[in-house]
Structure 1
Amino acid sequence: MQRTPILTIAACVLAVIPASAAREQTPAAVAEARDVRSISAADCTVSRVGATIPVTAIGEPVSAVALDPPAWTDATGEMPGYCSVTGSMAPADPDAPHAQPIHFRVVLPAEWNGRAVQLGGGGMNGIIPNLTGPIDGGPSGPARRAVTFGSDSGHRAGRGVPVDWALNDEAIRNLGYMQMKKTRDAAMVVVERAYDARPAFVYYIGSSQGGREALTVAQRYPDDYDGIISNVPIVGFSTLMLAPELIRIHEKPLANWVTPAKTATIRDHFLRTCDHLDGRVDGVINNYAACRAIFDRSQRAPGQNPWAPKRCPDGVDPAPDNDGPGACLTDGQIATLDLVYSRYVFATPLANGATTFGMWVPNTDPSGSGLIEARRYAGQEGAAPDAPVHSHLGALGVTGFLMRDPGANPLDYVEGGPLDARRRELSEWLDSTNPDLTAFRARGGKAIVTIGTDDTLASPGAQLDYYQAIIDTMGRSAVESFARLFVMPQGNHGLRARVAPHDGNGRPLEPRPLPTAIDRVSMLFDWVERGVAPPLHATLTGTDDTMPLCSYPAYPHYADGEYVCREADDTQAAPRQ
């Protein structure tokens, strides 16, 4: 079937609209103005897209690329029709122990406007992302007339699936960075075969692991992408997997165990110390930088102990089961909290010269994502004889990647010990901490990154330190010319936020969500394709209120009856007396 480009009516209209008026068109209108190419079920065939891809078309090593017969899905409701092409890439060394293929998929919409969006994974990956679902909370790829593609990153996940892939270095490197390039290159071949054209714009959009992946492609493959959206990226991935174990290791002595009963008193102390730092006491810790400076031992003044008001008399807890906001903390518990809310110092520098990991910042969910555990684990004082080995989402990265024994006890890790060289090697493969995005900026790339300070799964401290490293490396004006580094106070790992149960004066508050809605995708498309930069400080909606979404290092400050973005100063870092 011979296909010719279909020029929409909107394109003809746009040609006679003055430039000033054209800039006011919505992103949807701009998309309609593209040279739209069409395919149908008759094009969704092996004869059209092929059964293989030459390995020479893939920019990282693979030994073969095979494509399954494509499948057409008819339009239903608001979902346009599309052709789905699934394939696999064999490892460069298929005979290596535990070698795994990369499974990938490309979704080709019936009408295509020239955009291609690579969607990132989540957790430890292991499945192909949902390529026909909402993109960053908005319309799907087919509904946007955009190609979408993604992969399982080179291993399978799920109940009963073997985890021995974690013992294969190529599989680990695929997870870290190579699968993004391999998947992108394979998708470009499929797209060109289907539409007789390559994409005009290629984007990477992801959250969490996918957010790290988006940063990775900007760092490692800057010429391949026009723009990225990186939400809650796990920038220091190799250490984030280890961080929960570092807490449990510190809690090996029973005296250091922060129990769930202490959750309310920790939250209360953060709020009483920091709620007022943004100019208003309302159950929201907006001035995250000043609050962090109070509790991080690397920033606070020598001899200052922000936990002193919560210390138990003589360091002994008279009521360990007291779960109220007035409960006290022992010296051992305070030492553990100092670890959790301070930068962790490495024995030797990791990739990109990193010497610390930012851990967590003061928040209103101090027990979230296992930061506080209700039981004792094998290797900890007081654990039952049959106590389980500690596990969490990234534990395989410690036992498999690092210790090379999935059955090992991660609490046996020793910082600076015999695994130190392996730590550095994994950091080079897995961490997205390179702050020099000069090449990405030079090719015209644009980046929108958003983090939340109540994110207990990723590490807001590491994310904030990466923001600062980018500015220190490139200069603020250069960064603002191509990137938005947003911070959502009290935002969680899903970038949703709520007011705390009470404010910094102890006054109970009605539970309610905070504004968190924003259209990052349209922002990015406008910036890349039309040169319309998003505001340095954007606006969050989604409730009856609005809130500013400030670019780092600014934060929402309350003045004259409203919140405005303002940069922290040293005077605001002093705790309230």
Structure 2
Amino acid sequence: MFRFCRLLSFDVSRIRALLAVVALAACSNAHAASYVTKHCDDLEGKNVPASIIGLPTRGATIVSAWVVKAAAPGNRNGEYCRVTGFIKALQDSTPDIRFEVNLPSRWNGRALQMGGGGYNGTIVSGTEPMPFAPDSTPLARGYATFGSDSGHVGNAGRADFAGNDEAIVNFGFGHLKKTRDVALALIQMGYGRTPEKTYFAGGSTGGREGFTVIERFPNDYDGVIANAPAINFSGVRLMGVRVGQASYAKPGGFVGVAQQRRVFETVVHECDRLDGAADGIVGNVEACRKLEPQIIASLRCANGQRPSLRDSCLSDAQIDTLQTLRDGVTLPYPLAYGLDSYPGYNVFQGVDFSGTLGLGDSPTLLNPPTFAANGYLFAQGDAYVRHFVTRDPGLGALTFDLDNPGRFRQRLVTLAYTVGAMNPDFSAFIAHGGKLIAMHGLADEVISPNQTIAFYRGLIDRYGKDIVDAFMRLYMVPGFQHGNGVFIPAWDELGALDEWVSNGVAPETLVGSDIAPATNGRTRPICRYPNYPRYLGKGSINSATNFRCVEP
């Protein structure tokens, strides 16, 4: 028999009562926590009605519910009730949204929705550590956690679900609201009350999702963590198309892996010490930018030299490809919110494009392109054109005319609104008292850090620095790429956010511990933008205490 705080049934007619009945709210925290695990398995097979979900669905069904014991093999989260289910799409042809909700026995009164990555397609379990806090999980810290697959099943690198309009809306924003509302209903049932604070945290696509909930559902969240946010989602995909065309549509445009590595090593040689420390990190990116002309000159083949993809100078066509990466994309027409551009990358300021998410290792274009052979940016951009834009899997992006897309122009605009997060109106989130911590690596090779900076500057232009400082912190991390790099920071973002939201203590300079294998354990200040960490000139360069955050 199913019981939560003495209720004897769990059917559609009683769900509404569960959300409002005073008897639930009267349960003590300890009493409710005992019920959440004692009667966890009774949830299986029950339904959550569409009426309590803020966007149109056909309701949710709980597929499984069981207690994960603290001593279970591999469990690092303590005892919790694990609930899985699906939210039924409106159309039979649309995949359902699969979700997971975790209700810890020792609840701290907070809920955390965790974002996905790439094109999603796999359930975010909510049982893993935060990306930059590997030593503990939010669930182990008492957070009720939840996530979803965003409304389709598949590899995070595949875009073939986009033939379905409802699936695109779910991926863009719908799954966030739908999953959140179902999860909070389950939390209410389990503990007898809604969370005191509800947070969102994610990176890359999850970072875009963080900005999305601020812009679309500002009253649902008290705080957001958004790392490397792919906010201009259409822009980065069109950037990939432009780079692929420079690499493969022009003779000799492809830049080999060894050549790209040489670019990185040349930049480090010229710019490493501009932050006062020879540590392999290009810390003072703006000072390095001033050296760009001489860096390019040293890389360009002299008269009579012939480039080799294995190890050599770079031809004019190859330099043009890198400058395309640097310059970004500017369109002769606006997309969402009047935006007509995507800023380029810090190609000549410390980005290493020779890795697994780089420019690829083959001068031969595959059909369709692959990450390994033809580069992450182009492979993703090509998939976007095939599946999202033209919906013609046989139409590759090599000949797609970005400047004159013809009948696809309005499609590009519509998609930019649906799957992007570039709405600069944060007024409702500000009025709600919400807080945002955003972090981005200055050496990111997948999502341009300059787009995040541009959006931040736009908020300051719109609201003024004092208002932005009251709700947002932006941290730009030198040497950090898209989950990799010569410096990979470990730091407690969630703790910083909760302290700000709950106690009003706004984060300032933080400290990151490097988890890159070669330099594991060294520390650096994590500086608020636009500052960067500069070595003071004495003491160990592996200790953050010997650095100060200064303006470029």
TM bin, normalised by shorter chain, reads 0.7 to 0.9
For 2:417, the aligned partner's letter is E
Residue 484 (structure 1) aligned with residue 473 (structure 2): yes
* Partner Cα separation in structure 2 for residue 80 and residue 203 of structure 1: 21
Following TM superposition, by how much is the alpha carbon of 1:253 offset from its aligned partner in structure 2, in angstroms? 1.7
Query: Equivalent residue for 1:567?
Result: 551
**Which residue of 526, 530, 550 corresponds with 1:553?**
530
Query: Contact between 1:347 and 1:415, CA under 8 Å: does it hold in 2?
Result: no
Residue 106 (structure 1) aligned with residue 91 (structure 2): no
**Which residue of 352, 355, 358 corresponds with 1:370?**
358
- State which drifts further: 218-227 or 414-423: 414-423
Query: Contact between 1:43 and 1:194, CA under 8 Å: does it hold in 2?
Result: no
Residue 207 (structure 1) aligned with residue 207 (structure 2): no
Query: Contact between 1:51 and 1:69, CA under 8 Å: does it hold in 2?
Result: no
Residue 121 (structure 1) aligned with residue 116 (structure 2): yes
Following TM superposition, by how much is the alpha carbon of 1:278 offset from its aligned partner in structure 2, in angstroms? 2.7
Normalised to the residue count of structure 2, the TM-score between the two structures is 0.83
In structure 2, relative to structure 1, the CA distance for the partners of 1:409 and 1:258 (3 Å cut) is: same
Query: Equivalent residue for 1:333?
Result: 318
Q: Once the two structures are superposed, what CA deviation does each residue of 1:189-240 show, in whole Å capped at 9, x if it has no partner?
A: 1111122111111010112211111111112111000111111211211222
In structure 2, relative to structure 1, the CA distance for the partners of 1:176 and 1:482 (3 Å cut) is: same
Query: Contact between 1:261 and 1:321, CA under 8 Å: does it hold in 2?
Result: yes
Query: Contact between 2:101 and 2:145, CA under 8 Å: does it hold in 1?
Result: yes
- State which drifts further: 398-407 or 66-75: 66-75
Query: Equivalent residue for 2:345?
Result: 360
Q: Once the two structures are superposed, what CA deviation does each residue of 1:71-104 show, in whole Å capped at 9, x if it has no partner?
A: 2222216532222222222223x15xx4221111
- Give unmatched runs, 5+ long, in structure 1: 5-33, 296-303, 499-513, 569-577
Following TM superposition, by how much is the alpha carbon of 1:560 offset from its aligned partner in structure 2, in angstroms? 4.7
3-state SS of paired residue (2:252): helix
Query: Equivalent residue for 1:85?
Result: 83
Query: Equivalent residue for 2:542?
Result: none
3-state SS of paired residue (1:156): coil
- State which drifts further: 139-148 or 446-455: 139-148
Normalised to the residue count of structure 1, the TM-score between the two structures is 0.80
**Which residue of 482, 485, 500 corresponds with 1:527?**
500
Query: Contact between 2:240 and 2:380, CA under 8 Å: does it hold in 1?
Result: no
**Which residue of 154, 157, 161 corresponds with 2:151?**
154
For 1:262, the aligned partner's letter is Q
Residue 471 (structure 1) aligned with residue 440 (structure 2): no
**Which residue of 432, 436, 440 corresponds with 1:447?**
436
Residue 348 (structure 1) aligned with residue 333 (structure 2): yes
Query: Equivalent residue for 2:216?
Result: 220
* Partner Cα separation in structure 2 for residue 165 and residue 547 of structure 1: 41
* Partner Cα separation in structure 1 for residue 169 and residue 285 of structure 2: 34
In structure 2, relative to structure 1, the CA distance for the partners of 1:85 and 1:449 (3 Å cut) is: same
In structure 2, relative to structure 1, the CA distance for the partners of 1:378 and 1:207 (3 Å cut) is: closer
Query: Contact between 2:123 and 2:149, CA under 8 Å: does it hold in 1?
Result: yes
For 1:181, the aligned partner's letter is K
Q: Once the two structures are superposed, what CA deviation does each residue of 1:259-309 show, in whole Å capped at 9, x if it has no partner?
A: 2231233123323443343344543211223434665xxxxxxxx686233
3-state SS of paired residue (2:451): helix
Same amino acid, percent of matched pairs:
34
**Which residue of 389, 398, 403 corresponds with 1:411?**
398
Query: Equivalent residue for 2:513?
Result: 541
Residue 422 (structure 1) aligned with residue 418 (structure 2): no
3-state SS of paired residue (2:60): strand
Q: Once the two structures are superposed, what CA deviation does each residue of 1:546-567 show, in whole Å capped at 9, x if it has no partner?
A: 3111111111233454432122
In structure 2, relative to structure 1, the CA distance for the partners of 1:224 and 1:245 (3 Å cut) is: same
**Which residue of 287, 291, 301 corresponds with 2:288?**
291
* Partner Cα separation in structure 2 for residue 151 and residue 379 of structure 1: 31
Following TM superposition, by how much is the alpha carbon of 1:58 offset from its aligned partner in structure 2, in angstroms? 1.2
* Partner Cα separation in structure 1 for residue 529 and residue 315 of structure 2: 35
* Partner Cα separation in structure 1 for residue 317 and residue 485 of structure 2: 31
Following TM superposition, by how much is the alpha carbon of 1:69 offset from its aligned partner in structure 2, in angstroms? 4.2
Query: Equivalent residue for 1:25?
Result: none
* Partner Cα separation in structure 1 for residue 380 and residue 401 of structure 2: 20
* Partner Cα separation in structure 2 for residue 389 and residue 305 of structure 1: 27
3-state SS of paired residue (2:527): strand
For 1:244, the aligned partner's letter is G
In structure 2, relative to structure 1, the CA distance for the partners of 1:162 and 1:274 (3 Å cut) is: closer
* Partner Cα separation in structure 2 for residue 49 and residue 531 of structure 1: 40
Following TM superposition, by how much is the alpha carbon of 1:125 offset from its aligned partner in structure 2, in angstroms? 0.4
Residue 165 (structure 1) aligned with residue 161 (structure 2): yes
Residue 271 (structure 1) aligned with residue 258 (structure 2): no
In structure 2, relative to structure 1, the CA distance for the partners of 1:291 and 1:356 (3 Å cut) is: farther
* Partner Cα separation in structure 2 for residue 250 and residue 2 of structure 1: 61
Following TM superposition, by how much is the alpha carbon of 1:249 offset from its aligned partner in structure 2, in angstroms? 0.7
* Partner Cα separation in structure 2 for residue 394 and residue 203 of structure 1: 31
3-state SS of paired residue (2:136): strand
* Partner Cα separation in structure 1 for residue 189 and residue 59 of structure 2: 18
Q: Once the two structures are superposed, what CA deviation does each residue of 1:397-420 show, in whole Å capped at 9, x if it has no partner?
A: 221011212332122221132222
Following TM superposition, by how much is the alpha carbon of 1:393 offset from its aligned partner in structure 2, in angstroms? 4.8
* Partner Cα separation in structure 1 for residue 331 and residue 195 of structure 2: 43
For 2:548, the aligned partner's letter is V
3-state SS of paired residue (1:38): helix
Following TM superposition, by how much is the alpha carbon of 1:454 offset from its aligned partner in structure 2, in angstroms? 1.9
Query: Contact between 2:80 and 2:102, CA under 8 Å: does it hold in 1?
Result: yes
3-state SS of paired residue (1:150): strand
**Which residue of 21, 29, 34 corresponds with 1:39?**
34
In structure 2, relative to structure 1, the CA distance for the partners of 1:492 and 1:162 (3 Å cut) is: closer
3-state SS of paired residue (1:139): coil
* Partner Cα separation in structure 2 for residue 445 and residue 138 of structure 1: 27
* Partner Cα separation in structure 2 for residue 292 and residue 172 of structure 1: 38
Query: Contact between 2:125 and 2:148, CA under 8 Å: does it hold in 1?
Result: no
* Partner Cα separation in structure 2 for residue 424 and residue 294 of structure 1: 37
In structure 2, relative to structure 1, the CA distance for the partners of 1:321 and 1:428 (3 Å cut) is: closer
3-state SS of paired residue (2:473): strand
For 2:316, the aligned partner's letter is D
* Partner Cα separation in structure 1 for residue 87 and residue 153 of structure 2: 14
Following TM superposition, by how much is the alpha carbon of 1:70 offset from its aligned partner in structure 2, in angstroms? 2.0
* Partner Cα separation in structure 2 for residue 69 and residue 559 of structure 1: 56
- State which drifts further: 123-132 or 463-472: 463-472
Runs of 4+ in 1 over 6 A off after TM superposition: 387-391
For 1:213, the aligned partner's letter is E
* Partner Cα separation in structure 2 for residue 218 and residue 293 of structure 1: 36
Query: Contact between 1:175 and 1:430, CA under 8 Å: does it hold in 2?
Result: yes
For 2:345, the aligned partner's letter is W
In structure 2, relative to structure 1, the CA distance for the partners of 1:515 and 1:234 (3 Å cut) is: closer
In structure 2, relative to structure 1, the CA distance for the partners of 1:440 and 1:232 (3 Å cut) is: same
What is the count of residue pairs matched by the alignment? 500
